Amino acid sequence: MYYQGIEAAKSGDLDYAFMYFQSLLATSPESKYKEDSLFATGEYYFVIGDYRDANRAFIQLNSDSSNFKGKIFALAYLLKIAEMQGKEAAVKNLENEIVTSKRLILLFKNSKEYKYKSPLCKKYKVIYYIDKVQFYLEGKLFEQISY
Protein backbone atom coordinates (compact mmCIF):
# COMPACT_ATOMS: atom_id res chain seq x y z
CA MET A 1 0.00 0.00 0.00
CA TYR A 2 2.93 2.30 0.84
CA TYR A 3 4.55 1.72 -2.52
CA GLN A 4 1.22 2.17 -4.28
CA GLY A 5 1.06 5.53 -2.62
CA ILE A 6 4.55 6.39 -3.82
CA GLU A 7 3.67 5.30 -7.34
CA ALA A 8 0.57 7.47 -7.30
CA ALA A 9 2.65 10.40 -6.05
CA LYS A 10 5.23 9.85 -8.77
CA SER A 11 2.50 9.99 -11.41
CA GLY A 12 1.32 13.27 -9.87
CA ASP A 13 -1.91 11.91 -8.43
CA LEU A 14 -1.58 13.27 -4.90
CA ASP A 15 -5.20 12.57 -3.96
CA TYR A 16 -4.84 8.82 -4.59
CA ALA A 17 -1.41 8.82 -2.94
CA PHE A 18 -2.97 10.42 0.14
CA MET A 19 -5.72 7.79 0.24
CA TYR A 20 -3.18 4.94 0.11
CA PHE A 21 -1.12 6.47 2.96
CA GLN A 22 -4.20 7.11 5.03
CA SER A 23 -5.42 3.55 4.50
CA LEU A 24 -2.05 2.26 5.60
CA LEU A 25 -2.24 4.31 8.79
CA ALA A 26 -5.76 3.03 9.44
CA THR A 27 -5.13 -0.63 8.68
CA SER A 28 -1.48 -1.09 9.74
CA PRO A 29 -0.77 1.30 12.58
CA GLU A 30 2.39 -0.65 13.47
CA SER A 31 3.80 -0.56 9.93
CA LYS A 32 7.43 0.44 9.50
CA TYR A 33 6.18 3.01 7.01
CA LYS A 34 3.88 4.59 9.54
CA GLU A 35 6.01 7.72 10.06
CA ASP A 36 6.63 8.31 6.36
CA SER A 37 2.92 7.82 5.67
CA LEU A 38 1.97 10.22 8.44
CA PHE A 39 4.41 12.78 7.05
CA ALA A 40 2.86 12.33 3.61
CA THR A 41 -0.66 12.91 4.92
CA GLY A 42 0.57 16.04 6.70
CA GLU A 43 2.19 17.25 3.48
CA TYR A 44 -1.02 16.60 1.56
CA TYR A 45 -3.18 18.50 4.07
CA PHE A 46 -0.71 21.40 3.90
CA VAL A 47 -0.77 21.44 0.08
CA ILE A 48 -4.58 21.58 -0.04
CA GLY A 49 -4.64 24.29 2.64
CA ASP A 50 -6.10 22.17 5.45
CA TYR A 51 -3.68 23.51 8.03
CA ARG A 52 -5.61 22.19 11.01
CA ASP A 53 -5.30 18.56 9.92
CA ALA A 54 -1.75 19.15 8.70
CA ASN A 55 -0.88 20.53 12.11
CA ARG A 56 -2.45 17.49 13.81
CA ALA A 57 -0.51 15.05 11.61
CA PHE A 58 2.84 16.76 12.16
CA ILE A 59 2.26 17.09 15.90
CA GLN A 60 1.52 13.37 16.10
CA LEU A 61 4.65 12.66 14.09
CA ASN A 62 6.74 14.90 16.28
CA SER A 63 5.52 13.32 19.50
CA ASP A 64 5.55 9.68 18.32
CA SER A 65 8.82 9.37 16.44
CA SER A 66 12.30 9.69 17.78
CA ASN A 67 14.71 8.82 14.96
CA PHE A 68 12.51 9.52 11.99
CA LYS A 69 14.60 11.21 9.30
CA GLY A 70 11.91 13.63 8.30
CA LYS A 71 11.12 14.76 11.85
CA ILE A 72 13.00 18.05 11.50
CA PHE A 73 10.95 18.83 8.39
CA ALA A 74 7.74 18.07 10.27
CA LEU A 75 8.87 20.70 12.78
CA ALA A 76 9.49 23.09 9.87
CA TYR A 77 5.93 22.54 8.70
CA LEU A 78 4.58 23.12 12.21
CA LEU A 79 6.59 26.34 12.39
CA LYS A 80 5.26 27.49 9.03
CA ILE A 81 1.68 26.80 10.10
CA ALA A 82 2.17 28.57 13.45
CA GLU A 83 3.57 31.62 11.59
CA MET A 84 0.65 31.67 9.21
CA GLN A 85 -1.78 31.46 12.10
CA GLY A 86 0.07 34.19 14.01
CA LYS A 87 0.69 32.01 17.08
CA GLU A 88 3.68 33.83 18.54
CA ALA A 89 4.31 31.57 21.52
CA ALA A 90 4.14 28.44 19.37
CA VAL A 91 6.56 30.02 16.86
CA LYS A 92 9.07 30.74 19.64
CA ASN A 93 8.78 27.23 21.05
CA LEU A 94 9.17 25.58 17.68
CA GLU A 95 12.13 27.75 16.74
CA ASN A 96 13.78 26.79 20.00
CA GLU A 97 13.03 23.10 19.43
CA ILE A 98 14.52 23.20 15.93
CA VAL A 99 17.61 25.15 17.03
CA THR A 100 18.35 22.79 19.90
CA SER A 101 17.48 19.58 18.05
CA LYS A 102 20.94 19.28 16.53
CA ARG A 103 24.32 19.96 18.03
CA LEU A 104 26.62 21.44 15.44
CA ILE A 105 30.40 21.16 15.37
CA LEU A 106 31.91 23.00 12.43
CA LEU A 107 35.67 22.75 12.18
CA PHE A 108 36.48 22.96 8.50
CA LYS A 109 33.04 23.39 6.94
CA ASN A 110 30.76 26.38 7.31
CA SER A 111 27.56 24.34 7.41
CA LYS A 112 26.07 20.88 7.51
CA GLU A 113 23.12 19.70 5.46
CA TYR A 114 20.67 16.83 5.59
CA LYS A 115 18.21 15.69 2.93
CA TYR A 116 14.94 13.82 2.94
CA LYS A 117 12.70 12.67 0.11
CA SER A 118 9.11 12.34 1.21
CA PRO A 119 6.63 9.66 0.05
CA LEU A 120 4.91 12.40 -1.98
CA CYS A 121 8.25 12.61 -3.84
CA LYS A 122 9.11 16.06 -2.53
CA LYS A 123 12.77 16.83 -1.91
CA TYR A 124 13.63 18.44 1.39
CA LYS A 125 16.93 19.86 2.56
CA VAL A 126 17.97 21.46 5.82
CA ILE A 127 21.21 23.41 6.15
CA TYR A 128 22.58 24.13 9.62
CA TYR A 129 24.83 27.15 9.98
CA ILE A 130 26.34 28.31 13.24
CA ASP A 131 23.68 31.00 13.64
CA LYS A 132 20.83 29.98 11.37
CA VAL A 133 18.88 27.01 10.01
CA GLN A 134 17.49 27.01 6.47
CA PHE A 135 14.86 24.62 5.12
CA TYR A 136 14.47 24.05 1.40
CA LEU A 137 11.55 22.40 -0.36
CA GLU A 138 12.17 21.42 -3.95
CA GLY A 139 15.23 23.68 -3.99
CA LYS A 140 13.33 26.75 -2.80
CA LEU A 141 13.77 28.33 0.60
CA PHE A 142 10.81 27.17 2.66
CA GLU A 143 11.66 28.40 6.15
CA GLN A 144 14.57 30.06 7.94
CA ILE A 145 15.43 30.57 11.59
CA SER A 146 18.17 32.98 12.65
CA TYR A 147 19.47 33.07 16.19
Partner 1 sequence: MSRYHIKISKFWLAICILALVIVFAAAAFNIILAVSKNKLISPIEKYFPQKITISRIIYLPPNFIILKNTSFQEVAPSTQNTPLFIPTICMKLSLWEIVIKRHLSVSDIYIYEPDINYYKFRLFLKDNFKQIMVFIHSLPKQDINFFIKKMKLDLAKEDIGFKYITADFALMIKGSSVSSFGSINKNMYGNTTGKFPLRYSFKAFLTEDGISVEKLELRRENFSSELKGSYIGGAFRLSGFAFMNTANLFILDIDCLGNFTFPKLQIGRLKFSLNNNPVSLKGNIFLSDPILLDLVISSYLTYPKYGQAEDIKRIELKIKGTLKENVFSSDGILNLDSPKKKKGGFPLERMEFGFNGLTFYFAQYPHLRMHLGDGNLFFQTDQNEYKISLKDLKAIFYLRDKKFKFVEFNSLFYDGSLKGQGRIDMSNWPPRVTSIARVRNVSANKLDGLLIHFSKFHGKLASLMYFSNFPHLFLRGGMIIEKGYLYNLEFFKWLADFFDLPALKKISFKKTTTNFLVNEEGASLQEMRLESKDVNLNGYFSLGHNDLVSSKISLFFSRELLQKSAKFRPLLNLLGKDFNNLVFDFQLSGNLHRMNFQWLQSDFKRKIQASIPHFIERKIDRDVEKIIESFHSSGRNSGSTAK
Is the backbone of residue 86 left (phi > 0), alpha (psi -120 to 50) or beta? Answer: left
Closest separation in Å from C-beta 111 to partner 1: 9
Which CB sits closer to partner 1, 20 or 128? 128
Q: How far is CA 25 from the centre of its chain?
A: 17
Which CB sits closer to partner 1, 10 or 132? 132
Q: Which residues of 32-59 are buried (b: 16+ CB within 10 A; e: fewer)?
A: ebbbbbbbbbbbbbbeeeebeebbebbe
Q: Which residues contact 38 (CB under 8 A, 6 or more apart)?
A: 21, 25, 57, 60, 61, 64
Closest separation in Å from C-beta 92 to partner 1: 8
Which CB sits closer to partner 1, 66 or 110? 110
Closest separation in Å from C-beta 107 to partner 1: 5
Closest separation in Å from C-beta 90 to partner 1: 12
Nearest residue to 131 (alpha-carbon basis) of 146, 141, 143: 146
Which CB sits closer to partner 1, 27 or 110? 110
* Residues at the site binding partner 1, with contacts judged by CB under 8 A: 88-89, 92, 96, 99-100, 103-110, 128, 130-131, 147
